Amino acid sequence: MSEANEISPHWQSARSSLLLDISGWFDSHETEPLTLSLPDEDWLLEITPDGRLVCVAGYDLDDMKSMLSDGTAEDLGSDELAKQVKFFLQQTTSKYRRRLMAEGFTERMEMNDDFVAAHYEQAIDLSSTQEIRQKIHTCQSWFRP
């Protein structure tokens, strides 16, 4: 879900180490972020090739449209759909936002024709895989329901 920036010279080494040490990564190309589900099913964790740890929650607009219309013929307008999705996203992020911001994450919202997502990011040192593993484990503990 995160856009690609410059690839760190430590990316390949960090990527290989994390793939060996932590199970559950989604398949990805070697220049794409490593993505892992967090215990709260609405959240993903990413380690990006440019050295960012990202906790992201988002909703696919087509899925939300289907869920909100609940099989009726009623078609939500794009403004109403966006309003509803932002409400759901606010509910999802409110449980964790304060902690993430207190721990030095920055917040960024992303919306396009396909999805709406909240990204909480912080820079990490890809040369220190021990530190990255610790941050991943810490995030996993925060997102336990």
Predicted local confidence at residue 63, as pLDDT: 82
Distances (CA, A) of 48 to 10, 13, 95: 11, 13, 24
Residue ranges in the chain modelled with pLDDT below 70? 1-4, 70-76
| Predicted local confidence at residue 74, as pLDDT | 61
CATH label, 11-142, candidates 3.40.1580, 1.10.760, 3.30.450, 3.90.1150: 3.90.1150
Q: How far apart are CA 74 and CA 20, in angstroms?
A: 48
Which pLDDT score, from 0 to 100, does residue 1 have?
44
In the prediction, which pLDDT does 9 show? 96
**Whole-structure pTM value:** 0.86
CA atoms within 13 A on the CB side of 89: 22
- CA–CA gap between residue 93 and residue 131 (Å, rounded): 25
